Amino acid sequence: MILLTRKMDYGLLLLCYLHHKRVGACAREIADHYRLSRPFVANILKDLCRKGFVSSQRGVRGGYIAVPGLATRTLANLIDSVEEPLRLAECNQEAPNECCSLVATCPIRGPIEEVHQRLREVLEKVTLAEVFRNHPPAESPLPLDVSRCSAVHTLGL
């Protein structure tokens, strides 16, 4: 069982990169840095932009930059914004009666709900700053030519 999807895992990776690279970067630069698919990176960055985790600027001097206050947001906030809200079980939702015919008599529903709440509490306490601390992006295994980036972002925070 995987709690973080590949999209969420890479989303954290891209946010970490932008958090440590204060001047921002374009999708191509980040994709090349981690040797990831450029379209996949671009799609994740667009989602992160729509959800308010990064901002973008189009054009020659465009790219993506971490929004002010990004580091204070939590893992729970990121997961809930980018993916469906995290649930430990199907019955951990607002309308549990729709997921299972045993919901009214299930002996493990209550304990599973308690575990779910504990997990949520942990995720709500872990800030992105904690995830990103002391982990600046490793030097790229590829020499980067940022001039290849159609949009090198040069805004400061």
The CA distances from residue 58 to 26, 62, 76, in Å, are 10, 4, 29
* pLDDT of res. 96: 58
pLDDT in tens, 8-17: 999 999 999 9
Cβ atoms of residues 27 and 56 within 8 Å = no
Residues 6 or more apart whose CB falls under 8 angstroms from that of 46 comprise none
Q: From CA 132, how far away is CA 23, in angstroms rounded? A: 17
- The residue ranges of every structural domain in the chain are 1-73+128-157, 86-126
* Cα 87 → chain centroid: 17
* CATH number for the domain running over 1-73+128-157: 1.10.10.10
- Looking up tokens 């999209």, which residue turns up? 7
pLDDT in tens, 21-73: 888 999 999 999 999 999 999 999 999 999 999 999 887 777 999 999 999 99
Question: What global pTM score does this model have?
Answer: 0.77
Q: From CA 95, how far away is CA 78, in angstroms rounded? A: 23
* pLDDT of res. 144: 40
